[in-house]
Amino acid sequence: MQRFHSLGYWLAYKDGVYDVSSFVENHPGGKQILKTAGKALESCWKIFTIHQIDHVYETLEQYRIGNLPKGEREANEKHQETVLDLFQYDPERVNANETFFIRSQRPFNAETKPNLLVSSFLTSVENFYVRNHMHVPVVNINEFKLEIRNEKSSRSLSYDDLVDKYKSHTITSAVQCAGNRRAAMNNEHQGAALGTQWYVGAIGNARWTGVKLRDLLESFGLDKEGKHVQFWGLDCDTSQRCYGASIPMEKALSEDVLLAYEMNGELLSSDHGYPLRVIVPGTIGARSVKWVNRIIVSDKEADSHWQMSDYKILPPSIKEPQQADFDRVPALQESNVQSAICSPSSDEDGNKIKVLSVKPNDKDKRLTVKGYALGGGGRAIQNVQISLDHGKTWFQAELEQLAQPHMRAWSWTLWTYHINASDIPSKPFDIVCRAMDTHGNTQPDTPLGIWNVRGVMNNAWHKITLQIDDSFLKKAKELK
């Protein structure tokens, strides 16, 4: 790729030449794309394998302006420079395919298989989904420092200082990627929702222990100034462009925002932010920055790509991110009301299954349906309902919930509903679920009215289609 001041940004991929000038500013990786200067784009995509999907190739092709002469293409391949493998120290993920649907290897993005989500109220560390935007940083805990500053001054704490000098606080909170259930937003009329194609498993519920952010800010006198609190992580590229996000000061000073160092009673694993991560309960996962090493109190939001030009709901008229005026769209904060069916399920990718064949329990002649629900923003779940006739008739599910203070319902709710054999159709049928929170917020019936090109905040009714085992239906009829 070369940059020409009069012509803009050009790059080479295989035998093509592409002018991406109009795309660079809103590239999902910010200006990471410019790091391929002087090299073929392939060398970058060998590391960031998340790009190796059809819609990325299709998007790139829109910017083709010509082809490389054969001699130049061969010279380009011969003189490719070796790109630093930022991912060479990522943790070993043993048997990951048994636990996750892996959406990309570099960066590693993996969602929990649905049946594992409802196997226990707390999601184990091993089963908790992984959302990485770049590589997993290697941390020497003896050298680790947490910097806390504003525009006037800066202080720092060691890991031991933080753990030993501040009172610990524990909360149970779900963490959910804003793009959870993105794949269900794709439709032939409005187009593909761009980003990692999550099914229903980019969510988990854990017990987090750490230091209240409020206590830390108060100890340094930083609680009386600034409109935003920025968090910056150690996951940086070769130009030290690091992952960053921010939350409003009012949220930062609330009771349960944590600088967490434990997850389910264990030290954080490297994939989940060791040694320190932010937990912002009730808020989209993108604000719960992992591997955090800088906290900045400011009148401005973090200027990272992920705060300013991503994780925003763009108008449905926007079909390509580069068409958007991101400055006019507020950054997402609170999660919305959500629910999904997790059992029956398959070990195969739920995005690809049209009809799921199942056999109910022979003992009690019932089909048991299970899933999760989340209120978002601290709002508790009031009810979860199931329909077998596309919303004409609804049945109440049984709820498993924690007792939580008003407007501090950070944990998810697990739910169960039993369908009697006599109510099971003899042909493929749909089950849909919807949840309602204590403020009366509920889920829309389809994603059509909430579609956005970045595919965030999809909370439409979740549907699965089932085909019941014929032998079971035969026995059920004989018992009637």
Residue by residue, DSSP assigns 299-355 as SS---SHHHHSSS----TT--SGGG--GGGSPPP-B---EEEEEES--SS-TTT-SS
- Asked about 214 being catalytic, the answer comes back as no
pLDDT of amino acid 31: 54
In this prediction, residue 79 has a pLDDT band, given cuts at 50, 70 and 90, of very low
Are 314 and 364 found together in one domain? no
In this prediction, residue 146 has a pLDDT band, given cuts at 50, 70 and 90, of very high
Which residue of the set 63, 311, 372, 417 is catalytic? 311
Indicate which CATH number applies to the domain containing 49: 3.10.120.10
Are 352 and 319 found together in one domain? no
Which residue of the set 103, 106, 131, 133 is catalytic? 131
Length of the chain in terms of residues written: 480
Q: Convert the pLDDT of each residue in 152-185 to its tens digit.
A: 999 999 999 999 999 999 999 999 999 999 999 9
**pLDDT at position 23 over 80:** no
Total-model pTM: 0.88
Beta strands in 59-212 (DSSP E): 64-67, 100-104, 109-112, 130-131, 145-149, 154-158, 168-176, 203-212
Least confident window among 318-322, 350-354, 387-391: 318-322
In angstroms, the Cα distances linking 471 to 45, 295, 362, 478 are 50, 61, 10, 11
In this prediction, residue 81 has a pLDDT band, given cuts at 50, 70 and 90, of very low
More confident residue, 75 or 66: 66
Cis, bond preceding 344 (omega within 30 deg of 0)? yes
106 belongs to a structural domain: yes
42 belongs to a structural domain: yes
Are 473 and 446 found together in one domain? yes
Q: Show the tokens assigned to 269.
A: 């694993």
Indicate which CATH number applies to the domain containing 206: 3.90.420.10
Are 201 and 64 found together in one domain? no
- Asked about 236 being catalytic, the answer comes back as no
- Asked about 311 being catalytic, the answer comes back as yes
The pLDDT of 49-68, averaged and rounded, is 72
Would you say 111 and 347 are in contact if contact means Cβ atoms under 8 Å apart? no
Which residue of the set 3, 27, 155, 207 is catalytic? 27
Which residue of the set 177, 242, 342, 433 is catalytic? 177
333 belongs to a structural domain: no
User: Which residue from 395, 474, 19, 28 is spatially nearest to 243, judged by alpha carbons?
Assistant: 28
Are 33 and 176 found together in one domain? no
In angstroms, the Cα distances linking 332 to 246, 288, 300, 306 are 10, 12, 15, 10
The pLDDT of 272-286, averaged and rounded, is 98
Which residue of the set 13, 51, 103, 433 is catalytic? 51
Q: Show the tokens assigned to 143.
A: 């050298």
Cβ of 271: how many Cβ atoms within 10 Å?
Answer: 19
Q: What percent of the chain has pLDDT over 70?
A: 87
Q: Please list, in sequence order, all residues whose beta carbon lies within 8 angstroms of the beta carbon of residue 217, skipping any fewer than 6 positions away.
A: 148, 223, 229, 252, 253, 297
User: Which residue from 204, 193, 202 is spatially nearest to 456, judged by alpha carbons?
Assistant: 193
- Asked about 328 being catalytic, the answer comes back as no
Q: Rounded distance, CA 241 to CA 111, Å?
A: 26
Residues facing 294 on adjacent strands: 147, 232
In angstroms, the Cα distances linking 361 to 136, 325, 368, 369, 397 are 43, 53, 8, 11, 18
128 belongs to a structural domain: yes
380 belongs to a structural domain: yes
- Number of folded domains in the chain? 3
pLDDT of amino acid 462: 98
Q: Rounded distance, CA 393 to CA 411, Å?
A: 28
Q: Convert the pLDDT of each residue in 433-466 to its tens digit.
A: 999 999 999 999 999 999 999 999 999 999 999 9
386 belongs to a structural domain: yes
Are 403 and 368 found together in one domain? yes
Considering 328, 357, 392, which residue would you say is the last residue of a domain? Answer: 328
Are 315 and 190 found together in one domain? yes
In this prediction, residue 189 has a pLDDT band, given cuts at 50, 70 and 90, of confident
pLDDT of amino acid 5: 40
Would you say 98 and 207 are in contact if contact means Cβ atoms under 8 Å apart? no
**pLDDT at position 1 over 70:** no
91 belongs to a structural domain: no
Are 10 and 64 found together in one domain? yes
The pLDDT of 214-230, averaged and rounded, is 97
Q: Rounded distance, CA 66 to CA 238, Å?
A: 30
Are 131 and 187 found together in one domain? yes
Cis, bond preceding 425 (omega within 30 deg of 0)? no
pLDDT of amino acid 219: 97
- Asked about 177 being catalytic, the answer comes back as yes
Structural domain for 367, as ranges: 338-479
What distance, in Å, lies between the first and last C-alpha atoms of the chain?
Answer: 71
Q: Rounded distance, CA 462 to CA 342, Å?
A: 10
390: left (phi over 0), alpha (psi -120 to 50) or beta: left
Are 44 and 167 found together in one domain? no
Indicate which CATH number applies to the domain containing 453: 2.60.40.650
**pLDDT at position 28 over 80:** no
Q: Show the tokens assigned to 395.
A: 């049945």
Q: Identify the helix (H) or strand (E) that includes residue 252.
A: helix 249-252
CA 377 to chain centre: 16
Are 146 and 69 found together in one domain? no
Cβ of 293: how many Cβ atoms within 10 Å?
Answer: 20
Would you say 378 and 408 are in contact if contact means Cβ atoms under 8 Å apart? yes
90 belongs to a structural domain: no
Q: Are strands 145-149 and 154-158 parallel, antiparallel or unpaired?
A: antiparallel
Q: Are strands 130-131 and 64-67 parallel, antiparallel or unpaired?
A: unpaired
Q: Please list, in sequence order, all residues whose beta carbon lies within 8 angstroms of the beta carbon of residue 390, skipping any fewer than 6 positions away.
A: 430, 432
User: Which residue from 152, 200, 160 is spatially nearest to 177, judged by alpha carbons?
Assistant: 200
Q: Rounded distance, CA 27 to CA 309, Å?
A: 9
Considering 299, 328, 357, which residue would you say is the last residue of a domain? Answer: 328
Are 247 and 320 found together in one domain? yes
Considering 78, 106, 134, which residue would you say is the last residue of a domain? Answer: 78
